[in-house]
Amino acid sequence: MLLEALIKIAILIGGLMTAAAYLVLVERWMAAWIQGRIGPNRVGVPLTRIRLFGLGQPIADGLKFILKEEYVPAHVDKWLYYLAPMAILTAALAAFAVIPFGSVLPPDVSFPGGEEPIQLVVAPGIDVGMLYVFALSSMAIYGVTLGGWASNNKYSFLGGLRSSAQLIAYEIPLGLGILGVVLMTGSLRLEEIIGAQAQSGLWFAFSQPLGLLVFSVAACAEAGRLPFDLPEAEQELVGGYHTEYAGMKLMMYLVGEFLHMITAAFLIVILFFGGWHLWGVTGSSNDVNWFQAIARILVLVTKILLVVLLFMLVRWSWPRFRFDQLMALAWKVMLPLGLVHLFTMAVLSEYAERWAGGAAPWVIVGVGWLVAVAACLVAGTLTAVSTGNQAIRE
């Protein structure tokens, strides 16, 4: 039991760290390709001329971070300065305790403890799974805020302040976005949410487009990705809250940020795109053979990769929000949209079966899309986030 958990943790942390390192490379590739460049393609096998399309770049980056001078400015608040990056990385990694990275492995009696099917989640059976992820993502605020404050630098501090305001504001739409899913499945456990979508074959992205919109915008803001990267807006704040960090401590920040993006991608896939489920390939029950078990992991990873690629594409496509626009988007657009979504889903989950009987899923899909389009139209007509661009005359 303990051994099983330890193995899972080792696999997960190893996988996540590698994924974060290589996603940095992918992000640089994407940036280069979009800008008509080639991107990193030089670093391959060390001491040889083999280049491997630059796949050695993450190792070189890591080495560089490790070998950098461990520089601590004299004016910082030492304790919190050291604590902050640890807090952010710990919180980002601990969130994966309840996030499934596959479905189950079939029972295999050839090794001890293999009689039961193995759940591919570090801590199976945590009933508050989704809330636990929220709790840890809210703990990540501390890393950012304290790092900004402890650096004793105006730019860092402004970055920390912006970040805490932004994260608090977007936690509410984040919660509202998932509530529709939770209402429909009746559980906060991520495994059960995937299971419900696999059973019905109807991913929540199809029936709850408004929830998907609200959740992905909020998740993007929580991860601090462009167009929501105000806490580290280079043009205004040098490096934002990690201006004064270097070496491994900076790397902890950067990896933590990437892990937030990966968490967001995991959650979007699990909540709205059926997790490991793919029609006709993965099956839908918990009795799996080895082919299905592997296929489920691959399907999940592919979906997550696609979402991450979309995040990266977004980063190089859209300009950054101004801070008042950011807040207006959270409180005046996303919050009402989330409430409309919650209300719609509450009514549908209660009455769709009663009114439509067997056609209930289609009613839910139809009403869901109708409400989503209508709400977006109304939001666009009533509130334009981009107002206030005009110069103010005395």
- Where on the chain is the footprint of another protein (CB under 8 A)? 30, 32-38, 79-80, 83, 125-128, 131-132, 134-135, 138-139, 141-142, 145-146, 149, 157, 160-161, 164-165, 167-168, 171, 186-188, 313-314, 316-318, 324, 376-377, 379-381, 384-394
Question: C-beta of 86: minimal distance to another protein in Å?
Answer: 13
Closest CA to 288 of 102, 89, 121, 28: 102
Q: Which is nearer to another protein, 45 or 346 (CB)?
A: 346
- What residues have CB less than 8 Å from 52, skipping those under 6 apart? 44, 45
C-beta closer to another protein: residue 319 or 358: 319
The torsion of the CA quartet 94, 97, 102, 104, rounded to 10 degrees, works out to: 160
> CA-CA distance, 298 to 272, in Å (whole number)?
17
User: Which CB sits closer to another protein, 137 or 292?
Assistant: 137
E strands, the chain, are 104-105, 118-119
Closer CB to another protein, 63 or 377, in the complex: 377
CB 182, min distance to another protein, A: 9
How far apart are CB 293 and another protein at their closest, in Å?
Answer: 23
Measured CA to CA, the distance from residue 40 to residue 43 in angstroms comes to 8
The Cα–Cα gap between 210 and 214 comes to 6
Instruction: Pick between residue 327 and residue 363 the one whose CB is nearest to another protein.
Output: 327
Asked if 327 and 132 touch (Cβ cutoff 8 Å), the reply is no
Q: Quote the Cα angle for 230-144-56, to 5°.
A: 85
Measure the CA–CA gap between 376 and 261, rounded to whole angstroms.
25
Q: How far is CA 213 from the centre of its chain?
A: 14
Query: What value does the CA radius of gyration of the chain take, rounded to a whole number of Å?
Result: 22
Alpha-carbon distance of 150 to 161, in angstroms, equals 12
Q: Which is nearer to another protein, 12 or 167 (CB)?
A: 167
Q: Which is nearer to another protein, 33 or 290 (CB)?
A: 33
Cβ burial of 48 (10 Å; 0-12, 13-18, 19+) is: exposed
